[in-house]
Amino acid sequence: VLSGCGVYDGTEIHEASAILVHLSRGGAEVQMYAPDVPQMHVVDHSKGQPAEAESRNVLVESARIARGKIASLAKLTTADHDAVIFPGGFGAAKNLSTFAVDGKDCKVNTEVERVLKDFHKAGKPIGLCCISPVLAAKVLSGAEVTVGHEEEEGGKWPYAGTAGAIKELGAKHCVKEVTISFPVNFHVDAHVDTKNKVVTTPAFMCETELHKIFDGIGAMVKNVLKLTGK
């Protein structure tokens, strides 16, 4: 489930690409979706500032990542899929929810909320990375998730305050690394909430090398696929 195209106002493109690579390697068939709604705002990524008087549609922008093969989130049903995965990027906190503005008092897009609740009720796994675990924290009471560490640690974890908001939402936050040294133990790289079948990994919540983020996302995807039982 995508939230636009670009880290500051949509889906984090590296995360989406990493998820797709790992899903492909795992032999999964993939369908991409996004809500057919306006973006909260448009950010000029070269300046890191909102572009005034410009508007874009989340579904249309997400189609850039999907290479055009995408459908409205309203068409996503649990009957057609074994699992659902949400990449991060500020779009998860701006377009899929209002977390970027409202924090613990945020609202979640109605279709996003429906999808999370439907997959949870059906006992099908849900994968989330970077900032997107806040969606599960808000919608699935008592879920266990990770966004990494709970202290900034000199700038290594610039968004560490998110962990506190997750606790305020009623979820349990579990401190995790982005990845660990080889040999990889995939149960350590990503947090697996076996009760709720929610799998999370910090990704770009940490200032670290790209390949470590890629490997951590791989751990999340592998665990999601494992939980499908297929």
- Do the beta carbons of residue 216 and residue 189 sit within 8 Å? yes
DSSP state of 151: S
DSSP state of 205: G
Tokens 């849900």 sit at which residue?
126
Show the tokens assigned to 66. Answer: 């999907």
Could you give the angle at the alpha carbon of 193 between the alpha carbons of 115 and 164, nearest 5°?
A: 85
Sequence-distant (6+) residues with CB within 8 A of 142 are 170, 171, 172, 196
Show the tokens assigned to 184. Answer: 């990889």
* β-strands 144-145, 172-173 pairing: parallel
Sequence-distant (6+) residues with CB within 8 A of 28 are 225
Annotated catalytic residues are 130
